[in-house]
């Protein structure tokens, strides 16, 4: 025998499910605040929030409001995105440190001679790398950021700071 009440409640359950757009609009600030707390970096939190909502949109059909709130579901996705980001950053730092140990900086002809070469050798590996990619190899910002595994903004900031350090080192060597 058919359960009349079950059939009558099926459309009600379907209409009770919120749309992704309404959930995203309602929870964006909370997810961003959570990611900002986890990362301590506004730009990273914004990138991760975008990634979180992109993943949530792709998997929205799997969201079951009976298992928990949309906010909890989104925060779980955000947390996984943040953990992936932290792991990626840790691997990047290890690669940079490994590269820095393997690169000979003493009288290396690739660096040339003179004050600029001496100053370049004194820069941290991450700074030398961004200078090499952007200035020496003349790669554009988006390509360099992609190669380094960082955002365009982070790449631009890193280059700017590297060039400032380089200028300071060259100025100090002249004195």
Per-residue three-class SS string for the chain: CCCHHHHHHHHHHHHHCCCHHHHHHHHHHHHHHHHHHHHCCHHHHHHHHHHHHHHHHHCHHHCCCCCCCHHHHHHHHHHHHHHHHHHHHHHHHHHHHHHHHHCCCCCCHHHCCCHHHHHHHHCCHHHHHHHHHHHHCCCCHHHHHHHHCCCHHHHHHHHHHHHHHHHHHHHHHHC
Q: Which CA distances in Å does 82 have to 10, 39, 75, 87?
A: 37, 7, 10, 9
CATH number corresponding to 105-174: 1.10.10.10
Between residues 121 and 2, which one has the greater pLDDT? 121
Which residue bears the tokens 């993943």? 55
What angle is formed at CA 126 by the lines to CA 120 and CA 128, rounded to 5 degrees?
A: 20
Is the pLDDT assigned to residue 9 strictly greater than 70?
Answer: no
Helix axes 70-102, 42-58, angle to 10 degrees: 120
pLDDT digits (tens, 9 = 90+) for 103-156: 544 444 444 556 666 777 787 877 888 887 888 778 888 888 887 888 999 899
Mean pLDDT (the chain) is: 80
Q: Where are the domains of the chain?
A: 19-90, 105-174
| Fold of the 19-90 domain | Rna Polymerase Sigma Factor; Chain: A (1.10.1740)
Q: According to the per-residue pLDDT averaged within each range, which of 84-88, 96-100, 117-121 is highest? A: 84-88
Q: pLDDT value at position 6? A: 43
User: Which pLDDT belongs to residue 95?
Assistant: 85
- The answer, yes or no, to whether residue 50 has pLDDT greater than 70, is yes
């Amino acid at each position: 025998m058919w359960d009349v009440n079950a059939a009558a409640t099926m459309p009600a359950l379907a209409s009770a499910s919120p749309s992704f757009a309404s959930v995203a609009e309602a929870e964006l600030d909370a997810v961003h605040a959570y990611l900002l707390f986890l990362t301590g970096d506004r730009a990273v939190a914004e990138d991760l929030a975008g990634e979180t909502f992109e993943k949530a949109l792709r998997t929205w059909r799997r969201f079951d409001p009976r298992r928990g709130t949309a906010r909890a579901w989104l925060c779980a996705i955000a947390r996984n995105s943040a953990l992936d980001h932290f792991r990626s950053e840790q691997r990047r730092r290890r690669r940079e440190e490994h590269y820095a140990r393997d690169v000979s900086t003493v009288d290396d002809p690739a660096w040339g001679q003179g004050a600029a070469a001496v100053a370049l050798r004194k820069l941290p590996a991450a700074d030398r790398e961004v200078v090499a990619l952007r200035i020496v190899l003349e790669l554009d910002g988006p390509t360099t950021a992609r190669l380094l595994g960082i955002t365009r903004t982070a790449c631009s900031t890193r280059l700017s700071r590297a060039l400032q350090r380089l200028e300071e080192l060259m100025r100090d060597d002249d004195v």
